[in-house]
Amino acid sequence: MNITPEQLLVYLPLGAAIAITFRQIIGIRAIGTFAPALLALNIMQMGARQSGATLLIATGAVFLTLPLIEKLALPRSSRLAIQVVAVLAALVAAGMLHEDGSAAPIVVLALVLERTWDTMQTSGTLEAIRLGASTVAMAYAIAALLAASGQWIDQSPWYLLAAFGVAVNLAVGSYRGLRVTELRRFRPVHCSATTTQPFAPAGSASTYGVTAAAGTVR
């Protein structure tokens, strides 16, 4: 699928709005705020299978070169430049780059994979795998939603859809309320509140028993 400039002006804000909705409303974390939307555009442009193969090749290239780069103690800009070259070389060797421009966003892939590596170093391998998997799953979900709405998007004025996407980003991005995934934290409180015995009224037998026991101790 070739994305025209007008479609890019529509897909990018709408994809970002979906990504922010996943993050702010549902509570699904990802690596980067807009990285899932950019990866979703790559999936729509290259196709699900080819973009998945590209992601696997880029992941292998980055994770093979990053341990060597870490030993050199290079600044972040130099690290990113080397990773971009490594990803580009791996994709060229695998024949994943074409003259028609349907290539992966190399810089985005390198940034996402570098953030995954940093998360692995600071928070552990399981957390890095969880965030990486949620980022990729979110990207595929955004691509599926945009592809399902493709006919409606193509028939609507692009400037109205772009403005709608920006408005949704502003509205959802300012949401600071409870997220859907956080509701489970309050389930034990609700269950304990429903199973707790009500307080005994004044003058009941349990109240007299406590008074009598207190008198006995005295």
Give pLDDT tens digits for 96-121: 765 555 555 677 787 888 888 888 88
Neighbours of 19 (CB within 10 A): 28
pLDDT at 213 over 50: no
Q: Record the pTM.
A: 0.73
Give pLDDT tens digits for 113-159: 888 888 888 888 899 889 989 999 999 999 999 988 888 888 888 88
pLDDT at 32 over 70: yes
Give pLDDT tens digits for 187-210: 665 555 555 555 445 454 444 444
